[in-house]
């Protein structure tokens, strides 16, 4: 290899080492500050340090001297897609691609002068593939849950069943009837029973591709592998719950007036329940915000004052869901309306038909891991 060729290889190695290091640092910051994931952060930091050790085989001064940024024809070559990122998931995708490509360049050009260096880069590259897979699966999981909660129309709340077979039958029935989200809410059972049913429900929900939420208990939601947790105004604050469940899972919050909705929008909540709308059979309330509250929520969503998927809740059934739809809310959470096996499918279908007249605002401005206010 001529001196000129050797210098060119050094330029390529220097450029791609910088590119790979920048990509790994970008991903490390995502794992650290967005996902709050210690293990992923540690893996990415290790890859970055291993790369630095591998590059230590080269004379640092020679690498720096080989740089010619003003004379690099590639610095002015850009595409429109490089100049913007729709959300942080695109930052992750770009950084993983950039890092993988840079490591491949280091390996291939390294082979021309130092096979041992090339082998060390190959090892780092394969380790990165495994880490990037875990990272991208995390991002995809969060965004999938965010998409599902935004697309949901019908949310059912159920209690524990006497045994696993009955829970499975109950959930199968609700899914067949068109329910998108099921929440397990039961304060009458012990923690062991709640955990067991929550765990089984998570498996069934995953099989059906629906969301499975646990009421109040963030610890059980995480341990059981549920999609999220729902809390009320008197429970642990949303952002504290977020520290327990992480960025992977959804956090829902009950709201009873427009100020609580506005406050929810300033938290890391993924969706809100709004009500009680009408008197119901499962809970008693002294005050019913009703459809006037729902109109306020709908109007503030329309004007962009909040962007949380809002589910009307409280005494809603086929006989009054039209009033909910007229308020501008196209999502409902129900308990009693779907409690009876008789006529369940017809009731669910009728509710959905009315709700689907209301267009849903689908912009994921703050509903996924990539857009939380503190993320």
Count other C-beta atoms under 10 Å from residue 294's C-beta.
Answer: 23
- Residues 136 and 200 placed together within one structural domain of the fold: no
**φ, ψ (nearest 5 deg) of residue 183:** -110, 135
Same domain, 166 and 285: yes
Based on the domain organization, do 167 and 131 belong to the same domain?
no
Q: What is the mean pLDDT of residues 35-45?
A: 94
Residue 77 reports pLDDT greater than 60:
no
Checking if the pLDDT of 250 tops 70, the result is: yes
- Is residue 213 within 8 A of residue 108, CB to CB? The reply is no
- 140 with 164, same domain? no
pTM: 0.82
Cα gap 47→17, rounded to integer Å: 12
DSSP secondary structure of 120-173: HHHHHHHHHHHHHHHHHHHHHHHHHHHHHHHH--EEEEEPPPSSHHHHHHHHHH
Pick the residue with more confidence: 280 or 298?
298
Write down the pLDDT at residue 66: 81
Q: Is residue 182 part of a domain?
A: yes
Q: Is 368 a known ligand-binding residue?
A: no
120 and 186 in one domain? no
pLDDT in tens, 329-353: 999 999 999 999 899 999 999 999 9
pLDDT category, 375, cuts 50, 70, 90? Answer: very low
328 pLDDT exceeds 50? Answer: yes
pLDDT digits (tens, 9 = 90+) for 8-27: 999 999 999 999 999 999 99
Residue 179 lies in a domain: yes
Mean pLDDT, the chain, whole residue set: 92
pLDDT number for residue 356: 97
Q: Is 254 annotated as a binding residue?
A: yes
> Is 75 a residue whose pLDDT tops 80?
no
Residues 38 and 95 in one domain: yes
Q: Tell me, what's the pLDDT at 71?
A: 62
Q: What is the model's pLDDT at position 373?
A: 41
Q: How far apart are the first and last CA of the chain?
A: 49
Instruction: Give yes or no: residues 165 and 192 share one domain.
Output: yes
Task: Please state the rounded mean pLDDT for residues 128-143.
Answer: 94
Classify residue 218 as left (phi > 0), alpha (psi -120 to 50) or beta: alpha
How large a percentage of the chain has pLDDT more than 70?
91
Q: Is the pLDDT of residue 228 over 60?
A: yes
148 is in an annotated binding site: no
Per the CB < 8 A criterion, the answer to whether 229 and 218 are in contact is: yes
60 burial type by CB count under 10 A (0-12 exposed, 13-18 middle, 19+ buried): exposed
**DSSP at 114:** -
Residue 290 annotated as lining a ligand binding site: no
User: Is the residue at 42 inside a domain?
Assistant: yes
Residue whose entry in the numeric block shows the structure tokens 């990415």: 44
169-215 pLDDT tens trace: 999 999 999 999 999 999 999 999 999 999 999 999 999 999 999 99
Domain match, 132 and 57 both: yes
**Residue 94 belongs to what domain range?**
3-67+88-144
Domain count, the chain: 2
Provide mean pLDDT across the span 20-44.
Answer: 95
Average pLDDT (365-375) is 45
Distance of alpha carbon 32 from alpha carbon 43, whole angstroms: 11
Which whole number is the average pLDDT over 344-367? 85
Are residue 188 and residue 314 in the same domain, yes or no?
yes
* pLDDT over threshold 90, residue 223: yes
Residue 175 resides in a domain: yes
Burial class (CB in 10 A: 0-12, 13-18, 19+), 259: exposed
Domain assignment present for 375: no
Q: Residues 261-282: what's their mean pLDDT? A: 92
246/253 Cα distance (integer angstroms): 16
Cα(27)–Cα(19) distance, rounded to whole angstroms? Answer: 12
What is the average pLDDT across 289-297?
A: 97
Please report, for the domain that includes residue 60, its CATH number.
Answer: 1.20.1260
Average pLDDT over residues 57-64: 87
pLDDT band at 365; cut points 50, 70, 90 = very low
- Asked if residue 87 belongs to a known ligand binding site, the reply is no
Which pLDDT does position 106 carry in this prediction? 97
Do residues 283 and 316 both lie within one domain? yes
pLDDT the model gives residue 374: 43
Task: Please indicate, yes or no, if residue 80 is contained in any of the structural domains.
Answer: no
252 is in an annotated binding site: no
For residue 366, the model assigns a pLDDT of: 40
Do 162 and 121 fall into the same domain?
no
Does one domain contain both 168 and 283? yes
- Residue 370's pLDDT band, with cuts at 50, 70 and 90, is very low
């Amino acid at each position: 290899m001529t001196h000129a060729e050797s210098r060119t290889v050094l330029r390529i190695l220097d450029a791609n080492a910088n590119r790979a290091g920048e990509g790994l640092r970008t991903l490390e910051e995502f794992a650290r500050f967005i996902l709050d994931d210690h293990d992923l952060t540690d893996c990415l930091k290790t890859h970055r340090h291993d790369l630095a050790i591998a590059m230590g085989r080269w004379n640092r001064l020679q690498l720096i001297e080989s740089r010619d940024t003003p004379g690099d024809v590639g610095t002015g070559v850009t595409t429109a897609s490089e100049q913007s990122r729709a959300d942080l998931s695109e930052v992750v995708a770009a950084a993983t691609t950039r890092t993988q490509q840079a490591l491949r360049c280091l390996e291939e050009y390294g082979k021309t002068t130092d096979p041992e260096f090339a082998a060390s880069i190959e090892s780092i590259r394969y380790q990165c593939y495994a880490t990037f897979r875990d990272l991208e699966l995390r991002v995809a999981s969060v965004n999938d849950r965010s998409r599902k909660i935004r697309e949901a129309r019908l949310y059912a709340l159920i209690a524990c069943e006497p045994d696993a077979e009955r829970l499975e039958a109950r959930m199968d029935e609700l899914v067949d009837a068109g329910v998108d989200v099921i929440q397990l809410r039961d304060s009458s059972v012990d923690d062991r029973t709640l955990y067991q049913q929550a765990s089984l429900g998570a498996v069934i929900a995953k099989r059906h591709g629906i969301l499975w939420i646990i009421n109040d208990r963030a610890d059980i939601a995480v341990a059981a592998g549920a999609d999220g947790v729902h809390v009320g105004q008197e429970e642990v604050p949303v952002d504290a719950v977020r520290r327990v469940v992480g960025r992977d899972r959804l956090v829902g919050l009950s709201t009873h007036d427009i100020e609580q909705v506005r406050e929810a929008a300033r938290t890391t909540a993924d969706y809100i329940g709004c009500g009680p709308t009408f008197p119901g059979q499962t809970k008693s309330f002294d005050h019913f915000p009703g459809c006037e509250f729902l109109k306020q929520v709908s109007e503030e969503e329309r004007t962009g004052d909040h962007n949380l998927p809002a589910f009307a809740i409280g005494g809603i059934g086929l006989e009054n869901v039209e009033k909910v739809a007229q308020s501008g809310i196209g999502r409902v959470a129900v308990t009693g309306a779907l409690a009876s096996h008789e006529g369940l499918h017809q009731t669910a279908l009728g509710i959905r038909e009315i709700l689907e007249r209301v267009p849903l605002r689908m912009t994921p401005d703050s509903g996924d891991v990539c857009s939380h206010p503190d993320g």
